[in-house]
Structure 1
Amino acid sequence: MVAAAGPAVDARALLASVGLDPDGPWDPKVMLPAATYYALLERIAEETDVTDLPLRGGASMRCDDYGALGLAWKAAPDLRGSFSRVERYARLWTSVVEYELRPDSRGALFILHRAGPRRLGMRLSNEATLASAVSLARQVCPEPFSPLEVLIRHHAPKTQAAHEAWFGCPVRFDAGLDALLISPEALAQPNILGDEGISRYLISHLDAELSGIGDDGSLVGLAKDAIAQALSEGAPRMADIARGLGLSARSLHRRLSEHGMSFQALTDETRRELAEGLLRDHRHSLAEIAFLTGFSEQSSFTRAFKRWAGRTPASYRKDRSAT
């Protein structure tokens, strides 16, 4: 996404701001917490028009960027098989998105499920995810591929001509889903590189990875994402977050300590990042942001934000609008 933004942004500074070395080696196993990624996209939005950024970002994705899952996508016998594999194995590259391939009277809906407040960064990310799914389908389909329709839950940008031109179909904003509607004919298209033998091998590899997913090193990121999703119901309890991660509260405390973090510090960090992202979106009032970040009163939110950022939420929003 940073590369897709082009020369309008300082790519090196943006990457460094989220702890990525611009000169470091490419490592697809390095993950950013969702709130950090959304904040990155929101910083890009402050510097340039992002109307078609998700389309450019999604279009740049290649099957090989997804490792074994990308190979399994290419090796599936048909496009239905490719989408089905994303539905099953998406947890190997994301902890905050679930995919569903749902039958529909006109074919099938490939649905993106992502919980949490629909801040600008999330909205841009959702559009980019749908665009990347279409890009990957075009890379394996023997015929030109376009969905029948694209559904997007949030409001439309000032113009959606770029979206409809790139997707090659109607794009319906303010829909009840984030999804691609795909025809039966497209789903049945044999993939260019479909190979049953390679496919079986890759599936066994992915199943093994999936079974060991609880042992990866992304606990802090997973906990942060779980906290962000729970905040709209109030300040989350460590026991509840631990349970959602398949851990006891004691185990979560110990493993966070190994990373030099406490649950309270992680919650405060998540709240701050979420608040800063929401403050950049003027559709949310301060009272709404207080609620979405887990505060029962706006005054409590204001005090906490002033402690984090050294200024009030209103001042932070005003300064951001002026830059």
Structure 2
Amino acid sequence: MTALVRSASLTGFTEVATSCGLDPYALATEVGLPRRGLDEPDLMIPTQSVGQLLELAAARGREPAFGLRMAESRRLSNLGPLALLVRDERTLRDALEVLVTHIHMHNEALSVRVEQVGNLVSIRVEMGVGPGAFRQSSELVIGVTFRVLSVFMGAGWQPRLVCFTHRAPADLRVHRRLFGRAVEFGHEFDGIVCNASDLDVPNPGADPVMVRYARRLLEQSSGKRPRDSARVRELVVVLMPRGHCRVEVVAQHMGMDRRTLARRLAAEGTTFSAVVDNVRRDLLGGYLKDGARPLAEVSDLLGFSAPSAFSRWHRNQFGIAARSRVNQP
């Protein structure tokens, strides 16, 4: 069975390839990947082909740090719905447990192990294709893992050691720029070693409401192909706080036009607006219950263009003003 990965794994490929004088779309076609996989993040594409693409681009572009350069521009949102749960966990330890459990939803060939010995923790990443088989993929994955850790620890954080099983390249400038000087090659595993105490630093941006909601979504879709309405629900949760929760945007993420999406949702007895309203109602209850957020912030988190739009929606949904529910049990 061919292992698949979300096409979000190719975020940054077009920019790095172009800077190396390459045609990114021609390279994708050469290894049998769809051209739109470079533009749409949620296609499921073969992991093997992605590895081949990165190796080909690194060789043709004479850029031994191709994968790392892609990692430098990565954001947590590249993990899709999984990013919601990782971002809002209480500590880095909790976030790593989520990655260990659910990373297969992003990349079926990837596994993550966390091992603690004394005061040191090793975060080991295994690609499922054999050590050193795809050097660029390994460096990309370790680079992205480092970026995830830095979300919690801050931009100035440095690990104790970054390990690669392959040999060192002649030029280490990109490695030093991203990881600092604690990089070791020819190691027994690909991964990152850090202090155990780093894993228990509280996450000041943790959102318990979003954690509960995102965990429920992931559990519902884990191990089976989700219904279209469930997939729409996941995308709505991801896009809503960023102000991009429009039917045409969601349809594009799913590789179809808005009419096709409307037909599929109708076959499941729902509509895009109904899914959005359901998500908003679910999240609103949690935000009001937890209580610390002003209504203007809640309005933003629920994807409204202005607090007045949120107020109208709330009155239409519940028959009362939103302000009347604040601080009520």
- 1:88 is aligned, of 90, 101, 104, to 101
- Alignment RMSD: 2.5
In the alignment, is residue 202 of structure 1 matched against residue 214 of structure 2? Answer: yes
Give 2:324's aligned residue.
none
| 1:216-227 aligned within 5 A | none
Give 1:163's aligned residue.
175
After TM superposition, give the deviation of residue 44 of structure 1 in Å.
0.6
Identify if the C-alpha distance between structure 1 residues 157 and 214 changes in structure 2 by more than 3 Å, giving closer, same or farther: farther
Structure 1: how far apart are the matches of 2:73 and 2:155?
19
Residue type at the aligned position of 2:33: G
Give 2:194's aligned residue.
182
Give 2:70's aligned residue.
57
- SS of corresponding position for 1:56: helix
Give 1:19's aligned residue.
33
In the alignment, is residue 149 of structure 1 matched against residue 189 of structure 2? Answer: no
Residue type at the aligned position of 1:45: A
Structure 1: how far apart are the matches of 2:174 and 2:197?
26
In the alignment, is residue 10 of structure 1 matched against residue 23 of structure 2? Answer: yes
After TM superposition, give the deviation of residue 97 of structure 1 in Å.
1.2
Conservation of the 8 A alpha-carbon contact between 1:101 and 1:110: yes
Identify if the C-alpha distance between structure 1 residues 127 and 67 changes in structure 2 by more than 3 Å, giving closer, same or farther: same
TM-score (norm 2): 0.59
After TM superposition, give the deviation of residue 181 of structure 1 in Å.
0.5
Aligned length: 214
Conservation of the 8 A alpha-carbon contact between 2:116 and 2:196: no
Identify if the C-alpha distance between structure 1 residues 52 and 19 changes in structure 2 by more than 3 Å, giving closer, same or farther: closer
1:111-158 deviation line (CA, Å, top 9, x unaligned)? 1112334465x1110111010111122234346322110111111111
In the alignment, is residue 69 of structure 1 matched against residue 114 of structure 2? Answer: no
- SS of corresponding position for 1:146: coil
| 1:214-293 aligned within 5 A | none
After TM superposition, give the deviation of residue 179 of structure 1 in Å.
0.9
- SS of corresponding position for 1:32: strand
Residue type at the aligned position of 1:184: A
- SS of corresponding position for 1:44: helix
After TM superposition, give the deviation of residue 82 of structure 1 in Å.
1.5
Structure 1: how far apart are the matches of 2:175 and 2:154?
23
Identify if the C-alpha distance between structure 1 residues 160 and 105 changes in structure 2 by more than 3 Å, giving closer, same or farther: farther
In the alignment, is residue 172 of structure 1 matched against residue 181 of structure 2? Answer: no
Structure possessing the higher radius of gyration over alpha carbons: 2
* Percent of aligned pairs with the same amino acid: 19
Identify if the C-alpha distance between structure 1 residues 63 and 13 changes in structure 2 by more than 3 Å, giving closer, same or farther: same
**Structure 2 portions without partners, runs of 5+:** 1-12, 229-329
Residue type at the aligned position of 2:34: L
Structure 2: how far apart are the matches of 1:169 and 1:189?
24
Conservation of the 8 A alpha-carbon contact between 2:58 and 2:64: no
Structure 1 runs of 4+ aligned residues shifted over 6 Å read none
- SS of corresponding position for 2:169: coil
Identify if the C-alpha distance between structure 1 residues 35 and 6 changes in structure 2 by more than 3 Å, giving closer, same or farther: same
Give 1:229's aligned residue.
none
Conservation of the 8 A alpha-carbon contact between 1:147 and 1:169: no
1:74-110 deviation line (CA, Å, top 9, x unaligned)? 1011111112211110110111111111113232111
Identify if the C-alpha distance between structure 1 residues 25 and 33 changes in structure 2 by more than 3 Å, giving closer, same or farther: closer
Conservation of the 8 A alpha-carbon contact between 2:85 and 2:214: yes
Deviates more, 1:15-24 or 1:190-199: 15-24
Give 2:116's aligned residue.
103
TM-score (norm 1): 0.60
Residue type at the aligned position of 1:90: I
Residue type at the aligned position of 2:67: P
Conservation of the 8 A alpha-carbon contact between 2:132 and 2:166: no
Residue type at the aligned position of 1:168: G
Conservation of the 8 A alpha-carbon contact between 2:112 and 2:126: yes
